[in-house]
Structure 1
Amino acid sequence: MIQHLDVDGVPTLLAPTGGPMRAGLTFRVGTADETLARSGITHLVEHLALAPLGMADYHFNGATSPVFTTFHMQGSEQDIATFLTAVCANLTELPTGRLEVEKEILRTEWSNRGGSPVEAVPLWRHGARDFGLTSYPEWGLGALTGDDLRQWAARWFTRENAVLWIAGDRVPAGLRLALPAGVRHPVPAASSALPRTPAYFVSGSRAVVLDAVVRRSTAASLFADVLERELFRALRQEGGLSYTTTAGYDPRGDGYASLRALADALPEKQDAVLGGFIDTLAKLRVGRIEQSDLDSCVAKREDLLGTAEVDAARLPAYACNVLTGERNLTIDEHRAELKAVTVADLHAVAWEVAGSALLMVPEGNTADWAGFVEAPTCSERIVDGTAYREREGDGELRVGVDGVSYVGPGGPLTVTYADCAVLLAWPDGARQLIGSDAISMRIEPTMFELHPGAIRVIDSQVPADRQVVMPARDPERIPQPRATESASRREPVARSWWEIPLMVVSGLAALAVGGLTALLTLGMFITETAEGEGWLWGVVVVGWLLTVILALPIVLLRRRRR
């Protein structure tokens, strides 16, 4: 049974465990509370709070997710008291002396991310804001100051915005949670960048991924289990098409949950995996759900609920529900809800999934044949403004008083200044604007016939708190237009030994034939042509034609040599 206590004004959860003591301090703040221009601030606070602890004989760590940030550890009672007391002290007085060092560590951490197939999904559903920010690098790190971090910590890392959970028989002696006063913050509203669903987008990943938003319920969590079984059966056991088939259910704290499923594929089998994946979804949508599958999934859940460590295992999720105000069920209530779920309930969830689905398909495939609409990759609006031609291609950049548009291949793309989530600025003059709808536009001055004042207009119109200065680039990484051909840059044409002798012979022959033909022509005009000598005019015509033919090699060879 989970006990509800209070430690220094922080709600505390305590559950027994048969193993070593473990504990966590969870705050209701995450990446979804940030903006793209200041992304990484929560993660940086987490690192700074842990940095002074150095190496220890016990295991500890921190984690930042879209909605929560948690500091957790496993060890002795005294170790846990020392750890959590130090974390709270560091959050109250952030050790900013390691600010630049921790920034570099976070940049390294991002560069080593594995590139999961699902990384791009959030930005396609939510755009460059709230729950979509996990798809982007932590661009805000560079400009963050100690004052920025202290203000962020004072707002979010407070005792009213935290829950302590402990798997053990008591609260560790000597534990002090010296956190400032504050307020409990609600989960941010989830935005949408999808005009219509179900939708799909194309990715270079070798996997098919489903992302859906469903109402939080026991039936929805069981549906994820049933979907995983169906995908495993269809794509691995029967079709031999996939190795990994998974499905998961993740409540986001606002009464809804994200439901995701994945199936990997070899390049030559991607279309078959996509077809089998969509067929499985269609099967569940029409209600072809086996009672035996539901019974198996319920039995697995009940087995977990029957373990001695069930309450201790539930503590992290239980704490999150306390922070978001969502209901926590008792073990008996869990069992009752599991047994109450029917095939008809799963069928209703299948329709929810179908209505909100976002499908990631491998490159070279589409899903419009299955009723999915393509997620927008272009803008509907084009701003009025000064047009600057692209140095290569037929595109143009329009810089206006309320935004920037690119009109050309792959467009139109438009980002208005008011809706700009971030403006990335490089010292060489390059700019990248990303709208809150995730439309991205890169402006390379070397690739457009830009007036120098155009970049200044853009910089002056985007609010300063949305601008991020990027590090200087290697000159070799700055794109340049392809060099245009000109006579001065052409390679000289290789010349053969026979060209000049041929030109001399051709010239002499043309001169000889042309001279004789000229004399004959002059004689024909001076003297009267006797009857029967009209054929001489034919000789004149042939002579001049032969002269032209003999002179032609001279003309061609001279042009070639030039």
Structure 2
Amino acid sequence: MIQELDVDGVPTLLAPTGGPMRAGLTFRVGTADETLARSGITHLLEHLALAPLGLADYHVNGATAPVFTTFHMQGSAQDIATFLTSVCANLTDLPTGRLDVEKEILRTEHSSRGTAAVDDIPLWRHGARDFGITSYPEWGLGALTADDLRQWAARWFTRENAVLWIAGKSVPAGLRLALPSGVRQPVPAASSALPQTPAYFVSGSRAVVLDAVVRRRTAASVFAGVLERELYRALRQDGGLSYQTTAGYEPRGDGHATLRALADSLPEKQDAVLGGFVDTLAKLRVGRIEQADLDAVVAKREDFLGTAEVDAARLPSYAFNVLTGERNLTVDEHRAELKAVDVDDVHEVAREALAGALLMVPEGYRADWAGFAAAPTRSAGTVAGTAYREKEGDGELHVGVDGVSWLGHGGPLTVRYAECALMLAWPDGARQLIGDDAISMRIEPTMFDLHPGAIRVIDSQVPAGRQVVMPARDPDRIPQPRAAGGAERREPAKRSWWEIPLMVVSGLAALAIGGANALLTLGMFITETAESDKGWLWGVITVGWLLTVILALPIVLLRRRRR
């Protein structure tokens, strides 16, 4: 049974365990509370709080998720007391001397993390804000100051915005949670970048992924289990098309939960996997749900609820519910709700999930044939402003007082200043604007006939708090237009010293012979000449004009070479 206590004003949850003692301090703050221009501030603060603790003999870690941040440890009661007491002390008095070091560590962490098949899904569903921020790099790190971090800690890392959970016999002696007073922070409202659902988008990943938002309830978690069994049977066991077929259910803290399902594939099997995946979804949507699958999922959950460690295992999710204000069920209540779920309940969840679904398909494929609308990759409108032509192609950039629009291949793309989530600014003048709807536009001054004042207009209109200065780029990474006619730039031909003299001599000789030949030709028409002389004179004239052309030829060839 989980006991609810209080330690230094922090709600505390205690449950017995037969294994090693472990504990966690969880706060109601995460990446969804940040802006894109300040992204990374919670993660950086988490690192700063842990950095002075150094190496530990037991498992110590921290984690930053969309709506919570937690510090947890497994070890002895004394070590846990020391760890959590130190974390609170560091949160109250941040060790900002390591600020630059931890920024570099976070950049290294991001560069070595790699990408997962589901990384882009949040931005396609939510845009470049709240729950969509996890899809982007932590661009805000560079500009963050010690004062920024102190203000963030004072607002979010407080007694009222935290929950302590302990798997053990009792609260460790000597544990002190010296946190400032504050208020419990609500979960941010989730935005949407999808004008209609169900929708799909194209990804470079080989996997097919379903993302759905459903009302949080026991039947929805059971549906995730049923879907996983159906995908495994259809795509791995029967079809031999996929190796990994998974489905998961994750509460979001606002009365809803995210449901994700994934099936991987080989490049040559992507078409078959997409078709099999869609067929499985269609089967569940029309209510063809196997009672055996439902029974198997419920039985597995009941087995977990019957284990001796069930209360200790439930502590992190129990703490999450306390932080977000959602109801916690007892073990008996869980069992009762599981037993009450029937095929009709799962069918209802299937319809709800697919009505608001977002499907990720491999590159080169579509899903409109299955009733999924293409997620928008262009803007619905443009802004009026000064037009600047692209140096290559027929594109056009409009810079106005309300925003910026690109009209050309892949467009129109529009980012309005009032709806700009972030602007990246490079010292060479390049700018990248990202709208709240995740529409992104890159402006390279070298590629447009751009007035120098245009960039100043953009800089002055985008709010300063949404601008991030980027490090200088290597000159080789700055794009340059190709030569006229679309040809690549060529080195000019080397010129020899004799070219000019040869052109002069050839010109004079051609002028002399051509002039004499012209006079002789004219004389043939205006004077009387004996018929016996006309034959050889016309032969001389023909040879003269031929010599004139030969002498003029070097001039033409050398001028073309020099040009």
* TM-score (norm. length: structure 1): 0.90
For residues 98 and 258 of structure 1, what CA distance do their matches in structure 2 show?
36
For residues 545 and 230 of structure 1, what CA distance do their matches in structure 2 show?
93
The aligned amino acid for 1:406 is: W
For residues 490 and 459 of structure 1, what CA distance do their matches in structure 2 show?
39
| Counterpart for residue 63 of structure 1 | 63
Deviation, structure 1 residue 316: 0.2
Residues 177 and 550 (structure 1), Cα distance of their counterparts in 2 relative to 1, 3 Å cut:
same
| Counterpart for residue 279 of structure 1 | 279
Deviation, structure 1 residue 269: 1.3
- Alignment pair present for 1:459 and 2:459: yes
| Counterpart for residue 349 of structure 2 | 349
Query: SS of the residue aligned with 2:211?
Result: strand
Deviation, structure 1 residue 411: 0.7
The aligned amino acid for 1:85 is: T
Alignment coverage as a number of residue pairs: 539
The aligned amino acid for 1:95 is: P
For residues 491 and 477 of structure 2, what CA distance do their matches in structure 1 show?
24
Residues 192 and 552 (structure 1), Cα distance of their counterparts in 2 relative to 1, 3 Å cut:
farther
- Alignment pair present for 1:131 and 2:125: no
- Alignment pair present for 1:156 and 2:156: yes
| Counterpart for residue 220 of structure 1 | 220
| Counterpart for residue 449 of structure 1 | 449
Residues 287 and 556 (structure 1), Cα distance of their counterparts in 2 relative to 1, 3 Å cut:
farther
Q: Is the 8 A contact 2:482 2:489 kept in 1?
A: no
Query: SS of the residue aligned with 2:160?
Result: helix
- Alignment pair present for 1:413 and 2:393: no
The aligned amino acid for 2:185 is: H
The aligned amino acid for 1:323 is: L
| Counterpart for residue 498 of structure 2 | none
Q: Is the 8 A contact 2:223 2:349 kept in 1?
A: yes
Structure 2 unpaired stretches of 5+ = 496-501
- Identity of matched residues, %: 77
For residues 414 and 291 of structure 2, what CA distance do their matches in structure 1 show?
50
Residues 486 and 187 (structure 1), Cα distance of their counterparts in 2 relative to 1, 3 Å cut:
closer
| Counterpart for residue 110 of structure 2 | 110
Residues 345 and 430 (structure 1), Cα distance of their counterparts in 2 relative to 1, 3 Å cut:
same
| Counterpart for residue 328 of structure 2 | 328
Deviation, structure 1 residue 544: 12
Cα deviation, 1:433-465, whole Å, max 9, x if unaligned, reads 101000101111111111111111111111111
Query: SS of the residue aligned with 1:159?
Result: coil
Any residues of structure 2 matched to 1:222-371 within 5 Å, and which? Answer: 222-371=222-371
The aligned amino acid for 1:379 is: S
Any residues of structure 2 matched to 1:540-559 within 5 Å, and which? Answer: none
Residues 524 and 462 (structure 1), Cα distance of their counterparts in 2 relative to 1, 3 Å cut:
closer
Query: SS of the residue aligned with 1:160?
Result: coil
Q: Is the 8 A contact 2:483 2:489 kept in 1?
A: no
Residues 549 and 402 (structure 1), Cα distance of their counterparts in 2 relative to 1, 3 Å cut:
same
For residues 553 and 358 of structure 1, what CA distance do their matches in structure 2 show?
75
Residues 476 and 288 (structure 1), Cα distance of their counterparts in 2 relative to 1, 3 Å cut:
same
Q: Is the 8 A contact 2:216 2:257 kept in 1?
A: yes
Deviation, structure 1 residue 345: 0.8
Query: SS of the residue aligned with 1:344?
Result: helix
Any residues of structure 2 matched to 1:32-71 within 5 Å, and which? Answer: 32-71=32-71
Residues 217 and 550 (structure 1), Cα distance of their counterparts in 2 relative to 1, 3 Å cut:
farther
Query: SS of the residue aligned with 1:308?
Result: coil
Residues 12-21 or 445-454, more deviating: 445-454
Residues 161-170 or 466-475, more deviating: 466-475
- Alignment pair present for 1:183 and 2:190: no
For residues 268 and 173 of structure 1, what CA distance do their matches in structure 2 show?
61
Deviation, structure 1 residue 389: 1.1
- Alignment pair present for 1:396 and 2:396: yes
Deviation, structure 1 residue 273: 1.0
Query: SS of the residue aligned with 2:398?
Result: strand
Q: Is the 8 A contact 2:378 2:439 kept in 1?
A: yes
Residues 351-360 or 64-73, more deviating: 351-360
Deviation, structure 1 residue 366: 0.7
| Counterpart for residue 381 of structure 1 | 381
Deviation, structure 1 residue 486: 11
For residues 93 and 488 of structure 1, what CA distance do their matches in structure 2 show?
61
Cα deviation, 1:264-311, whole Å, max 9, x if unaligned, reads 111111111111111111111111110001111111111111111010
Deviation, structure 1 residue 114: 2.1
Deviation, structure 1 residue 257: 0.5
For residues 278 and 551 of structure 1, what CA distance do their matches in structure 2 show?
80
Deviation, structure 1 residue 340: 0.7
The aligned amino acid for 2:230 is: E
Query: SS of the residue aligned with 1:335?
Result: helix
For residues 297 and 491 of structure 1, what CA distance do their matches in structure 2 show?
76
RMSD: 2.9
For residues 266 and 462 of structure 1, what CA distance do their matches in structure 2 show?
44
Query: SS of the residue aligned with 2:424?
Result: strand
* TM-score (norm. length: structure 2): 0.90
For residues 488 and 90 of structure 2, what CA distance do their matches in structure 1 show?
65
Cα deviation, 1:80-109, whole Å, max 9, x if unaligned, reads 000000111111111111111111111111
For residues 260 and 388 of structure 2, what CA distance do their matches in structure 1 show?
43
Deviation, structure 1 residue 477: 1.1
Query: SS of the residue aligned with 1:418?
Result: helix
Deviation, structure 1 residue 153: 0.4
For residues 399 and 120 of structure 2, what CA distance do their matches in structure 1 show?
29
For residues 262 and 446 of structure 1, what CA distance do their matches in structure 2 show?
42
